[in-house]
Structure 1
């Protein structure tokens, strides 16, 4: 793929946050945020919510994240508040398998962590990781639901620009929503 060795498991440190790959001791926090925010997260993260229904599922998912990291399939960082050590959510980068390398970014926060600038701070750190020495992505992409103005604002404040809008039915029982696609190119 793009790197002979996986990136080190070194945390990304920002002014208020620590972003780090999950450890086996994180399953309770990981499960609690997904379980407490299940309804809110399901429209945007249906696979994650569906796959983590129990604490055992959380343990299995965290093990899969570690395997994905080693193989370069997916890089998932849990987001923790530096001062309080509270778990806030996660952010991930899914690289492409072809050249030029690009990666899709996905992120979510617990409801109590929204509206405080944490997503913007975490996304800025993930951008640096994506364009950094290990991944060396040419560009990054992300998707936001048009009816999620906070997520749209986070993308644009971090330098992402809209490239298209697509209509999508998800889940089939809900009304049609628009998905905004964003892109951020590496500095030349």
Structure 2
């Protein structure tokens, strides 16, 4: 049994809410939203999500993919959230904790959103919610984001929200069914970083109230 099974509470709240968003695991009926955002943003999702793009070509593919994500969630392998707006129930995209290393423990944050950069403030809101989930509920000690040159804007987002750039690994990633190699830049946040960021934000809020 994995370490995460040992440290998680018996009942894990799967639905996260922010001021403007609802984050939850995918369920039956989400397949139209799921495939639409993939198809509408296919160019920006390559190469990071080229495997998902290749697997999901039709509605039935989307249903199968969501069922697999549910299984991975139940097995504490991947915690994948769809993101919807509260105001109009608009599906924005996907944010997940994946590649969980149970020994540290740590996990990678993977994300994609439609409407960038207009949706940037909502993406930040979703990211902050996932950080709280990762450190407060899963008790992770570190999370990280990996970016290729084509999605470096997520690296910039990470830096703006308390992550530290840790370096670039050259020719370290190959997309699905491709011979092209891509450099990967890593952005990390430790538990110490997260606590310092939370204290800083708390102090700023207190000052604003005064």
TM-score (norm 1): 0.88
Retained in 1: the 8 A contact 2:99–2:108? yes
**Equivalent residue runs for 1:16-165 within 5 Å:** 16-110=20-114, 112-116=115-119, 117-133=121-137, 135-165=138-168
Which SS does the other structure have where 2:30 is aligned?
helix
Which SS does the other structure have where 2:143 is aligned?
strand
Distance in structure 1 (CA, Å) of the matches to 2:127 and 2:67:
23
Unaligned runs of 5+ in 2: 196-210
Distance 1:98 1:11, change over 3 A: closer
Which SS does the other structure have where 1:148 is aligned?
helix
Which SS does the other structure have where 1:24 is aligned?
coil
Shift of 1:66: 0.8
Q: Rg bigger for which structure?
A: 2
Aligned residues: 185
Please name the residue that 1:3 is paired with: 5
Retained in 2: the 8 A contact 1:140–1:183? yes
Shift of 1:7: 5.7
- 2:185 counterpart (175, 180, 184): 180
TM-score (norm 2): 0.80
**Stretch deviating more after TM superposition (64-73 or 12-21):** 12-21
Task: Give deviations 1:109-166, integer Å, cap 9, x for gaps.
Answer: 11x2533322211111111111123x21110011012343421221112211111102
Retained in 1: the 8 A contact 2:148–2:185? yes
Retained in 2: the 8 A contact 1:159–1:184? yes
Unaligned runs of 5+ in 1: none
CA RMSD of superposed structures (Å): 2.1
Which SS does the other structure have where 1:125 is aligned?
helix
Which SS does the other structure have where 2:5 is aligned?
coil
Distance 1:7 1:124, change over 3 A: farther
